[in-house]
Amino acid sequence: MLAEQLTGQVFSHLTQLSNNIYVHKEVVGAFNGLQMAAQKAGFNLQIASGFRSFERQQLIWNNKFSDKTPILDKNGVPLAVEKLSESEKLFAILHWSALPGTSRHHWGTDFDFFDPDCLPAGKNLQLTVSEYSEAGYFFELTQWLSENMKSFGFYRPYQKYNGGVAIEPWHLSYFPIAQQAIDKLTLPLIEATISANNVLAKSLICEQLPIIYKQFICNIETP
Radius of gyration of the chain (CA): 17
- pLDDT in the model for residue 73: 86
Closest CA to 28 of 7, 44, 51: 51
Q: Give the confidence band of 18 by pLDDT, cuts at 50, 70, 90.
A: confident
Q: Residue range 138-164: average pLDDT?
A: 97
Has residue 59 got a pLDDT over 90? Answer: yes
Residue % of the chain over a pLDDT of 70: 100
How many residues in total does the chain contain? 223
Question: Which parts of 41-158 fold into alpha helices (H)?
Answer: 54-65, 86-96, 129-132, 139-148
Delimit the domains of the chain by residue range. Answer: 3-217
CA 144 → CA 34, 101, 150, distances in Å? 11, 32, 11
Q: Does domain 3-217 have CATH number 3.30.1380.10?
A: yes
pLDDT at 193 > cutoff 90: yes
pLDDT at 95 (0 to 100): 95
What is the reported pLDDT for 63? 97
Q: How far apart are CA 128 and CA 124, in angstroms?
A: 11
Going 172 to 69 to 18 to 43, the CA torsion angle's sign is positive
Torsion over CA: 76, 154, 118, 139 (sign): negative
Strands, E, within 130-202: which ranges? 154-155, 171-174
Mean pLDDT of 59-81: 92
CA 62 to chain centre: 17
Q: Using 50, 70 and 90 to split pLDDT, how confident is the model at 74?
A: confident
Average pLDDT over residues 43-57: 97
φ/ψ of 67, rounded to 5, equals: 70, 20
Could you read off the pLDDT of 26-46 as tens digits, one per residue? Answer: 999 999 999 999 999 999 999
